[in-house]
Amino acid sequence: MKNSLKIDLIDQLLPQTQCTKCGFDGCRPYAEAIANGTADINRCPPGGSDGIRKLANLLQVPEVPLDASRGKEGPLMVAFIHEEHCIGCTLCIQACPVDAIVGANKLMHTVLPYQCTGCDLCVDPCPVDCIEMVQANREWTDNDARQARQNYEQRNQRLQGRHNEPLGLAARNLANKQELSDAAYSDEQTRKQTVLEALAKARSRRSGK
């Protein structure tokens, strides 16, 4: 089997959530690593045991348990934005790999639940902690995976074409949250009070008061 075909077949069995929990920059790079023998087939929590079984059958290798260091298998989760606390900083939009969040700078954001892959990459960047993951109460389907792959590829093409932005794991995880948050608040003189109020509301909500 040609390696390119092998990669394609592996990629088709991955859930296309683009969550990076496997340690690779999306599903396609993980498929490439599996095909090249540099990654095991058990690093995908969204795919779970069923995904491992399918990969094992395709590659004619033994099934192995899910690597617990990568996360746990569970129901499909989707992001939910508590819109009353959203300050419109756009960091979650920047983090979403499939364009499942709509909104604009200084305006309230919302999640498109049937486009969200449950990757949770939007949660950590939020400076006011107004995003949580909730159960989708549905199954992730093959059609969902195909649409997610298409959305992911279209987003990457748009970013590369317009901004030549980095698409790596570190960039999408937005690890340097404080620096990016500061950049989002470049007009802090006019937004400071709004940010402070949003932070107070977020802290109150988390404390249950």
CATH of the domain at 46: 1.10.15.40
How far does the chain reach from its first CA to its final CA, in angstroms? 60
Across the chain, the runs of DSSP E, i.e. the strands, are: 77-81, 101-102, 110-111, 131-135
Residue 204: the pLDDT is: 60
Residues 94 and 195 in one domain: yes
Task: Return the exposure string of 30-66: e unless at least 16 CB atoms fall within 10 Å of the residue's CB, then b.
Answer: bbbbbbeeebbbbbbbbbbeebbebbeebbeeeeeeb
* Residue at 189 is within a domain: yes
* Residue at 154 is within a domain: no
Residues 92 and 180 in one domain: yes
Residue 161: the pLDDT is: 72
Residues 127 and 112 in one domain: yes
- Record the tokens describing residue 75, joined without a space: 């129901």
> Rounded to an integer, what distance in angstroms lies between the CA atom of residue 185 and that of residue 100?
23
Last residue of a domain, one of 17, 47, 70: 70
Cα dihedral 85/90/92/94 (nearest 10) = 180
> Rounded to an integer, what distance in angstroms lies between the CA atom of residue 190 and that of residue 23?
40
Residue 207: the pLDDT is: 52
Report helix, strand or coil for 147. Answer: helix
Tally of structural domains, the chain = 2
Ordered mean pLDDT values, 10 residues apiece, the chain (209 residues): 89 97 95 97 97 98 96 96 90 92 81 95 91 96 96 90 51 42 47 54 53
40 contact partners, CB below 8 Å, separation of at least 6: 34, 64, 67
Residues 136 and 177 in one domain: yes
* Residue at 119 is within a domain: yes
Last residue of a domain, one of 70, 105, 120: 70
Residue 197: the pLDDT is: 59
In degrees, to the nearest 5, what angle opens at C-alpha 29 toward C-alphas 25 and 35?
Answer: 150
Residues 102 and 199 in one domain: yes
Residues 85 and 62 in one domain: no
Q: Name the residue range of residue 49's domain.
A: 3-70
* Residue at 161 is within a domain: no
Residues 118 and 31 in one domain: no
Residue 73: the pLDDT is: 96
Neighbours of 82 (CB within 10 A): 15
pTM of the model: 0.77
Residue 159: the pLDDT is: 82
* Residue at 147 is within a domain: no
Residue 105: the pLDDT is: 73
Per-residue pLDDT of 172-186, as tens digits, reads 444 344 444 454 445
Taken in order 201, 202, 204, 209, is the CA torsion positive or negative? positive
Residues 106 and 54 in one domain: no
